[in-house]
A and B are shown apart, each in its own frame.
Chain A
Amino acid sequence: MNLEEYKGVYIFAQQVDNEISSIAFELLGKAKDLAKDLNTEVTAVLIGSGVKGLADQLAEYGADKVIVVDDPELKDYRTEPYAHALSSVIEKYKPEIMLVGATAIGRDLGPRVSARVATGLTADCTVLEIGDFPLQAVPGQEQLHNQLLMTRPAFGGNTIATIACPYNRPQMATVRPGVMQKIAPVKGAKAVVEEFNPGFTPDNKYVEILDIVKAVTETVDIMDAKILVSGGRGVGSPENFKILEDLAEVLGGTVSCSRAVVDSGWKPKDLQVGQTGKTVRPNVYFAIGISGAIQHVAGMEESDIIIAINKDADAPIFDVADYGVVGDLNKIVPKLTEALKAEIAAAK
């Protein structure tokens, strides 16, 4: 593998129902930074059926070039034809970096493609930067420059690892949605659009889609919520979660809970935050009546702002909270909801 042949920062521009997913724009935002450091261009790879018209949008968000693979076989996402499309693009165009969103599609497509083109893949990255590998020069080992350094949490957020892919190309990463910043779109921006079709011949690897069922669940995935109002055993009863729901509604947030609440049968398991539940990182996390056992904290400490309300001043939740209020949640929460209602109404 001649590593020098590989040029340019590529992103997989995920579309679903011919609508570009937000993650594609986020990847473009990051790709632009990386391309600047490497003095190269950003290319979006758009795969689908009848998707060519979406190329301009990708240009507005920072793509210099768009490679379109358009074929009826690519109408709805299926692993094999998409993997064939993307790996064919990689084999033909030889990108230096290939970014894919860590979505339900990307986390299926990425590994399949990386195995096919025989390169490494780093999953679910939260930080991408250009730097040296090894980070510090080591005697007897060549220090490589301009490497993609991919940082990702592991062990449910207990550890952080920075990973490089120094001897294989492309350097591939899947990137966690909601982490990278998209740029403000440049209206009227145009990209070089190139169509490419590697040819699709269905074989045993092509699966058949029998049905597509949309909007599977009514409940919001707490992992996607920007604001979480989370309750613990201190809320006292399932009925009393109403005051948390009211608060969440005012802020456009979602209610979640601690394990004790699930164990007591007050809330379903899919709302549980923590080691045995879900790991969340909303912009604001309200911990209400949650003592803050380490297992709970492991699932929410990544939140941008943590606000804790608890009557026990010694509760460990205050050790991780940015803003801790010692007091009676039954008195504070309803008043807080009213106050926020007034604030939001006034701001309109």
Chain B
Amino acid sequence: MDFTLSKEHEMARALFKEFAEKEVKPLAQEVDETETFPRETVEKMAKLGFLGIPVPKEYGGQGCDPLTYVMCVEELSKVCGTTGVIVSAHTSLCCDPIMTYGTEEQKQKYLVPLAKGEKLGAFGLTEPGAGTDAQGQQTKAVLDGDEWVLNGSKCFITNGKEADVYVIFAITGMVEKRGRMAKEISAFIVEKGTPGFTFGTKEKKMGIRGSSTYELIFTDCRIPKDNLLGQKGKGFNIAMHTLDGGRIGIASQALGLAEGALETTVAYVKERKQFGKSISGFQNTQFQLADMATKVEAAQLLVYKAAMAKATQKVYSVEAAKAKLYAAETAMEVTTKAVQLHGGYGYIREYDVERMMRDAKITEIYEGTSEVQRMVISGAMLK
């Protein structure tokens, strides 16, 4: 077992870090304060291939492994949680299912521009009545001639309105499952601008405030028959498998937030003086930092392990769940401690840790709450 990164990965990290420091960090405060989607940053990332890192080169991507992608989200999130989730939602939740389940035509039409960053992607599963319980779906798709007709709505959709391509889940019928009638769910690719596809209100959030979160509304929205993604009725499996990958992305975001808060705090406690000495000289500070650093590294190992599992295994649900659970809870704990170590300044918006703490909270909630992750992990143990 070898915990050292390859030179390629080290250099990729240096690239992401430099980009994050130079292009993302200077905007992080403003993006949060004004709740502005960082469109220019997305364009810059597109040019550098950051929006197609794990997509093979023949589909316009960079042909890198999941670990490289994870490090990208991690480094971006160190300085800006918003930018991290934009890349994560686009890559894990939109590129990935099209890569895995799409036909060659769908890949050429949608994956290539997505991976090149010419288009941005999003994923619509959650509904007002169907969060953790994906079976609570209400959105329906009915085949009418050569077209599917979608009706219903999706909520809390990351990259909503900003994205061009949406992977959408809808009920396509009822099937008998163990003697009971259950909803049959299918996945579809829907383009922005399709008649009948509109956006509801923009959500005002506690954190990741530059990320665009919208309600998607489908009213007799007709899409080509060929835009069914994967087999009819396999939507639930596609959603769950996609979320396994998505959770690794969110775990990377959480990891980055924790690391960013820790780095900021280490710099701060060295500079800040109280009672005539630097607060890094106090044992409380030292012990807090030691705990924070240990948990951050543990989170990193779990996240990287999950990324490696995605590269080598067909199923990696448990690895992804553990990585997300631990990284998200670590992010919350470390950012909270970071605010505490900053004292009054930590509560002021001018200081980055204030934003990081707000950004961290969502990582315990979206793409499967911490409770869902515990269900996945224990479920596999008790099978």
Contact residues of A with B, CB < 8 Å? 263-265, 291, 314, 316
B128 at the interface (CB under 8 A from A): no
| Residue numbers in B under 8 Å from A291 (CB-CB) | 271
Find out whether the CB atom of B271 lies under 8 angstroms from the CB atom of A316: yes
Name the residue of chain B whose CB is nearest to the CB of A291: B271
Find out whether the CB atom of A263 lies under 8 angstroms from the CB atom of B26: yes
B47 at the interface (CB under 8 A from A): no
| Residue numbers in B under 8 Å from A316 (CB-CB) | 271
Q: Is the interface of B mostly helix, strand, loop or mixed?
A: helix
| Residue numbers in B under 8 Å from A264 (CB-CB) | 26
CA distance in complex: A338, B25 (Å):
38
B273 at the interface (CB under 8 A from A): yes
Residue among B25, B26, B272 having the largest count of chain A Cβ atoms under 10 Å: B26
Find out whether the CB atom of B26 lies under 8 angstroms from the CB atom of A314: no
A140 to chain B, nearest CB (A): 44
B343 to chain A, nearest CB (A): 13
CA distance in complex: A291, B268 (Å):
12
Contact residues of B with A, CB < 8 Å? 25-26, 271-273
**Can you list 5 A-B pairs, Cβ within 8 angstroms, ordered by A?**
A263-B26, A264-B26, A314-B271, A314-B273, A316-B271
CA distance in complex: A314, B271 (Å):
8
CA distance in complex: A264, B33 (Å):
14
CA distance in complex: A291, B345 (Å):
15
Name the residue of chain B whose CB is nearest to the CB of A264: B26
| Residue numbers in B under 8 Å from A314 (CB-CB) | 271-273
Name the residue of chain B whose CB is nearest to the CB of A262: B26
| Residue numbers in A under 8 Å from B271 (CB-CB) | 291, 314, 316
Return the 3 tightest CB-CB contacts between A and B, nearest first: A263-B26, A314-B273, A316-B271
CA distance in complex: A264, B28 (Å):
11
- Additional A-B contacts beyond A263-B26, A316-B271 (7; CB < 8 A): A263-B25, A264-B26, A265-B26, A291-B271, A314-B271, A314-B272, A314-B273
CA distance in complex: A316, B267 (Å):
13
CA distance in complex: A47, B26 (Å):
49
CA distance in complex: A241, B239 (Å):
54
A93 to chain B, nearest CB (A): 51
CA distance in complex: A28, B26 (Å):
48
B302 to chain A, nearest CB (A): 33
| Residue numbers in A under 8 Å from B26 (CB-CB) | 263-265
Name the residue of chain B whose CB is nearest to the CB of A233: B350
A295 to chain B, nearest CB (A): 12
| Residue numbers in A under 8 Å from B272 (CB-CB) | 314
CA distance in complex: A264, B27 (Å):
8
B143 to chain A, nearest CB (A): 53
CA distance in complex: A265, B27 (Å):
10
CA distance in complex: A291, B273 (Å):
13
Name the residue of chain A whose CB is nearest to the CB of B350: A233
CA distance in complex: A314, B272 (Å):
7
| Residue numbers in B under 8 Å from A265 (CB-CB) | 26
CA distance in complex: A263, B352 (Å):
15
CA distance in complex: A314, B268 (Å):
12
| Residue numbers in A under 8 Å from B25 (CB-CB) | 263
A275 to chain B, nearest CB (A): 13
CA distance in complex: A263, B273 (Å):
26
CA distance in complex: A263, B22 (Å):
9
CA distance in complex: A264, B25 (Å):
10
Name the residue of chain B whose CB is nearest to the CB of A292: B271
CA distance in complex: A255, B26 (Å):
22
A235 to chain B, nearest CB (A): 14
CA distance in complex: A265, B273 (Å):
30
| Residue numbers in A under 8 Å from B273 (CB-CB) | 314
CA distance in complex: A316, B278 (Å):
11
